[in-house]
């Protein structure tokens, strides 16, 4: 009897160890993520991947899925690219693009401040202005749903941006999702990306290969931006801890960033929305 009890205890212990290894396996947290986070060279997209992979089964309902890790796409709706005028937010006669928003009452006062700081990151140096919704028909509804995600461009009416607390409440993550809402895809999705980076397909999780597709988008005659807030990190969706994206011609280039928009990101906004004649707003 004692032997049976001992065997049961050992079996339970081994099962717990196995479960722990599963939870921290590369399928859930990119191998090396913790080390990169401690060194401070992680990216906004690294944080998004970490949050969304943990909550992937609860992120979107049956009619909506995620593309490229954090872009919400509704079934039957064209959402491949968003550089047509039909999916841009309206520009006011004063030259600004006012985006109305509603903020969920579920957020604490401190969390609201972080979200507004993410808005300020977009506003600084661009013609975009976020304003609390009063009567506007088109607006962003910011909710602490599961994971970090946004629809692409203006869809008309209410559209959700999910910023789960606390996982997604980082300035760079918030700015990244608002950039999607403005109409921007990830930088490495550009049609000409193969001239600048090499995608290491064997190193990517097999069920996440589609996150590395490229699309025919308008680069607006701006250079490829390795440091864009919209660029995947070098180890995004790595299944073995090896790089999934490698810059061409130089190993010293850092891909993506964690905190703010790059200068080119701001130029993209101003060019897409035709904010005056100057790139420096």
Give the pLDDT confidence score for residue 163 in this predicted structure.
Answer: 97
pTM surpassing 0.95? no
Q: Is residue 8 one of the residues assigned to a domain?
A: no
Q: Is residue 36 one of the residues assigned to a domain?
A: yes
**Residue 233: which domain range?**
31-273
The catalytically annotated residue of 177, 187, 213, 242 is 177
Give the pLDDT confidence score for residue 280 in this predicted structure.
Answer: 58
Q: Specify whether 35 is catalytic.
A: no
Give the pLDDT confidence score for residue 76 in this predicted structure.
Answer: 59
* CATH number for position 246: 3.40.390.10
From CA 269, how far away is CA 252, in angstroms rounded?
27
Q: Is residue 206 one of the residues assigned to a domain?
A: yes
Under 8 Å between Cβ of 249 and 212: no
Which of residues 23 and 92 earns the better pLDDT score? 92
Under 8 Å between Cβ of 91 and 273: yes
Half-sphere exposure of 38 (CA within 13 A, CB side): 4
The DSSP-derived string for 56-89 is GGGSS-TTEEEETTTEEEETT---S---SGGGSP
The answer to the question of whether 186 is labelled as a binding residue is yes
What's the order of all strands across the beta sheet hosting 64-67?
64-67, 71-74, 148-151, 158-163, 139-143, 97-103, 128-132
pLDDT tens sequence across 196-224: 999 999 999 999 999 999 988 888 999 99
Q: Which helix (H) or strand (E) holds 265?
A: helix 263-272
**188-224 burial by CB neighbour count: b if 16+ within 10 A, else e?**
bbbeebeebbebbeebbbeebeebbeebebeeeeeeb
Q: Is residue 249 one of the residues assigned to a domain?
A: yes
Q: Is residue 17 one of the residues assigned to a domain?
A: no
Per the structure, how many domains does the chain have? 1
Under 8 Å between Cβ of 180 and 261: no
Picking from 185, 280, 178, 267, the residue whose alpha carbon sits closest to that of residue 231 is: 185
Give the pLDDT confidence score for residue 225 in this predicted structure.
Answer: 97
For 40, left (φ over 0), alpha (ψ -120 to 50), or beta? left
Q: Is residue 5 one of the residues assigned to a domain?
A: no
Mean pLDDT of the chain: 84
Q: Which positions ≥6 away from 92 have C-beta within 8 Å?
A: 98
Mean pLDDT of 79-88: 59
Which of residues 263 and 14 earns the better pLDDT score? 263
Q: Is residue 280 one of the residues assigned to a domain?
A: no
Q: Is residue 23 one of the residues assigned to a domain?
A: no
From CA 20, how far away is CA 48, in angstroms rounded?
22
Give the pLDDT confidence score for residue 122 in this predicted structure.
Answer: 98
């Amino acid at each position: 009897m004692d032997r049976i009890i001992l065997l049961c205890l050992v079996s339970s212990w081994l099962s717990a160890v196995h479960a722990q290894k599963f939870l921290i396996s590369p399928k859930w947290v990119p191998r090396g993520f913790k080390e990169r986070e401690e060194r401070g060279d992680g990216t906004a997209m690294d944080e998004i991947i970490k949050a969304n992979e943990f909550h992937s089964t609860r992120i979107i309902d049956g009619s909506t899925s995620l593309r490229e890790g954090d872009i919400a796409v509704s079934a039957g709706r064209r959402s491949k690219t968003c550089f047509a005028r039909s999916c841009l937010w309206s520009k006011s006669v004063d030259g600004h693009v006012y985006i109305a928003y509603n903020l969920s009452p579920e957020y604490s006062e401190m969390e609201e401040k972080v979200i507004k700081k993410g808005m300020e990151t977009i506003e600084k140096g661009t013609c975009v202005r976020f304003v609390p919704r009063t009567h506007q028909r088109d607006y962003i509804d910011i909710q602490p749903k599961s994971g970090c995600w946004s629809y692409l461009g203006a869809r008309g009416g209410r559209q959700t941006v999910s910023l789960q607390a606390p996982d997604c409440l980082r300035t760079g993550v918030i700015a990244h999702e608002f950039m999607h809402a403005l109409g921007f895809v990830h930088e490495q999705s550009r049609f000409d990306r193969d001239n600048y980076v090499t995608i290491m397909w064997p190193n990517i999780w097999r069920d996440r290969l589609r996150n590395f597709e490229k699309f025919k988008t308008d680069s607006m005659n701006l250079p490829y931006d390795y440091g864009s807030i919209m660029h995947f990190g070098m180890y995004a969706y790595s299944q073995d801890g090896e790089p999934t994206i490698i810059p061409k011609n130089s190993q010293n280039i850092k891909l993506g960033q964690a905190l703010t928009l790059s200068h080119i990101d701001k130029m993209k906004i101003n060019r897409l929305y035709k904010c005056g004649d100057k790139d420096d707003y």
